[in-house]
Amino acid sequence: MQIERAPASAAAKARPRVGFVSLGCPKNLVDSEVMMGLLDRAGAEITPNAESADILVVNTCSFIDKAKQESVDAILEMARLKTAGSARKLIVAGCLVERYRDEIQKNIPEVDAVVGTGELESILAAAGLETQPTAQSASPFNILGSSAAAHVPAEVRPGVESRSGTHNASSRPEGDRRATQGRFSRSEWDGATAQMPQYLYDHTTPRLRTTRSASAYIKIAEGCDHPCTFCVIPNLRGQFRSRRFESVIAEAEMLVAEGVREITLIGQDTTCYGEDLGLKDGLAQLLDRLARIEGLTWLRFLYAYPNRITGKLLETIAKHDNICKYLDVPLQHASAPVLKTMKRGGGADIFLKTIEKVRAAVPNIALRTSFIVGFPGETDADFEALCDFVADAKFDWLGVFSYSDEEGSRAYDLEKKVPKRVIEQRRRALMKLQKGLSRQSKRELVGRTYDVLVEGESAETPLLWEGRTQFHAPEIDGTVYLNDFGPFESLTPGRFYRCEVTEAHDYDLVARVLHEVPTGAAPEPEPAGVLL
């Protein structure tokens, strides 16, 4: 990606260098990319070198204890660099700010400013850069030139849509009801502002993509209205809100024109997409429209809420070759009493029926889920029910989280806490069970051929390259290692190759390249953003 800039001037030479650490999930990564875009447009230079940065930013995660600790460690490391190096400012952004706004600055005096998840635009003031009015002429998408701009439908050009980065004030009745029930209240959190985040970027917001090869995320919704008792994400991210349909299409068209070939739609719950905009089956409609974008090779979404997987959604996934046959549906547990206390509902029998429906509608679909073990009150029998369900359901990918007791969640006040030692034993036992199931299912893939998106040389050894099939979401699932390039001297990251699986390990595959899969004359997509 070539960024055209004004001729060098004294002001340009004085551009502050900003180093960015981004922690947590892809949703947080998109926030980092938006903040980098805003800083870049305001004249800052984004640097991968912390030692030479004038400003250091840590975009934090605060989902569970482990994530909070990782965030604090990263802040302390940057604080040390600031003291020892050339940085004159340290800014902390993200979920940790929503949770501990005052305490961060009180306890870590090196921190100069904080930026919550609902105030991404204030990164400019925090960095000492002036806020610039949003205009298409200033968007990094403009670097695509007139052909990409031509993809933007007239009805979503700036001036027609609501102010960039500000969400239209619509909501879901479920969310409004939960709000009156106190679901989003932060009154018990010291230092948190009462005002819930409302921000949501749009296609006119500058954004510097950091993801490797031909892959990009698009955040289609923010916040969550569900009542899960273990989860503080709604308190951190606010009520559910969707981006406008046309804005998502416009962003996807611009990314594809830039060379992106795989788009992953993200949100806490993408299956609620559009309900606040009055759309029925909004995600299915959105996928159906996006799948028609010429040049888009793979389209996927994360995450599905189990009771919102409609027939229409499955029909849409099955209908389009370029919609990945992949579904990530976090089920959290399979024992009905535990799910009831989690305020999620469902149980093993209902979930098995859902899985059957999904597999019947979309044959060979890859299913991913995640579970929490050690939720308050979880008995040995509940855990056994979960293991039996996992053995029956045979997921392609599975993640297991140890329950984390989060102050401010409803589960925090529950009795019958499970000892940490038992939680750890259960986590390990469930992972061991899944490892055996995964090994068995991966072995069945030997000899089959798949399209593989090549991502580049393996971090482990230059003798191997890495890639993914449509059944592997970026940065989440196993890896396809390529040890035989077939007719090629070398491979090109960001391109697709037909490959034959030659070996299977517990989670990863080894494959040999057969031939390249043409996906149109894509320019080499270079990420414009960089992280520390």
Q: By C-beta, is 272 or 358 nearer to ligand SF4?
A: 272
Q: Could you check whether the bond before residue 497 is cis, i.e. omega within 30 degrees of 0?
A: no
Four-residue CA torsion sign, 96, 102, 107, 108: positive
Rounded CA separation 107/395 (Å):
44
Q: By C-beta, is 371 or 450 nearer to ligand SF4?
A: 371
- The string of DSSP codes covering 399-429 is EEEE----TTSGGGG-S-PPPHHHHHHHHHH
Q: By C-beta, is 214 or 228 nearer to ligand SF4?
A: 228
Q: By C-beta, is 54 or 406 nearer to ligand SF4?
A: 406
Q: By C-beta, is 23 or 260 nearer to ligand SF4?
A: 23
Q: By C-beta, is 28 or 268 nearer to ligand SF4?
A: 268
**Minimum CB–partner distance for residue 184 and ligand SF4 (Å):** 11
Instruction: Look at strands 45-47 and 17-22 and give their pairing.
Output: parallel
**Minimum CB–partner distance for residue 333 and ligand SF4 (Å):** 11
- Are 41 and 140 in contact by the 8 Å Cβ rule? The answer is yes
**Minimum CB–partner distance for residue 267 and ligand SF4 (Å):** 9
Q: By C-beta, is 116 or 234 nearer to ligand SF4?
A: 234
Q: Which of 182, 218, 181, 222 is nearest to 200 (CA)?
A: 222
**Minimum CB–partner distance for residue 231 and ligand SF4 (Å):** 3
Q: Which of 37, 121, 123, 18 is nearest to 78 (CA)?
A: 18
Q: By C-beta, is 305 or 497 nearer to ligand SF4?
A: 305
Place of tokens 């950091």: 210
Rounded CA separation 362/318 (Å):
5
Largest CA distance in the chain: 70
**Minimum CB–partner distance for residue 25 and ligand SF4 (Å):** 10
Rounded CA separation 282/464 (Å):
41
**Minimum CB–partner distance for residue 98 and ligand SF4 (Å):** 14
- Are 301 and 323 in contact by the 8 Å Cβ rule? The answer is no
At residue 346, what is the residue type?
G
**Minimum CB–partner distance for residue 234 and ligand SF4 (Å):** 5
Beta strands of 25-155 (E only): which ranges? 45-47, 55-60, 89-94, 113-115
Rounded CA separation 502/512 (Å):
7
**Minimum CB–partner distance for residue 188 and ligand SF4 (Å):** 18
Q: By C-beta, is 158 or 175 nearer to ligand SF4?
A: 175
**Minimum CB–partner distance for residue 305 and ligand SF4 (Å):** 6
| Three-state secondary structure of 65-90 | HHHHHHHHHHHHHHHHHHHHCCCCEE
- The string of DSSP codes covering 185-205 is --TTSTT--SSPP-----TTS
Q: Which of 185, 154, 171, 177 is nearest to 222 (CA)?
A: 171
Rounded CA separation 176/173 (Å):
5
Q: By C-beta, is 216 or 228 nearer to ligand SF4?
A: 228
Rounded CA separation 108/97 (Å):
13
Q: By C-beta, is 202 or 269 nearer to ligand SF4?
A: 269
Instruction: Look at strands 509-517 and 496-504 and give their pairing.
Output: antiparallel
Q: By C-beta, is 61 or 228 nearer to ligand SF4?
A: 228
- Which residues in this chain contact ligand SF4 in the complex, by CB under 6 A? 224, 226, 228, 231, 233-234, 268-269, 305
Neighbour count for residue 349 (Cβ, 10 Å):
11
**Minimum CB–partner distance for residue 310 and ligand SF4 (Å):** 17
**Minimum CB–partner distance for residue 332 and ligand SF4 (Å):** 7
Read off the tokens for 428. 């390990």
Beta strands of 428-521 (E only): which ranges? 449-457, 465-468, 480-484, 496-504, 509-517
Radius of gyration of the chain (CA): 23
**Minimum CB–partner distance for residue 111 and ligand SF4 (Å):** 27
**Minimum CB–partner distance for residue 28 and ligand SF4 (Å):** 13
Beta strands of 296-427 (E only): which ranges? 298-302, 326-328, 366-373, 397-402
Residues in the chain: 532
Q: By C-beta, is 344 or 495 nearer to ligand SF4?
A: 344
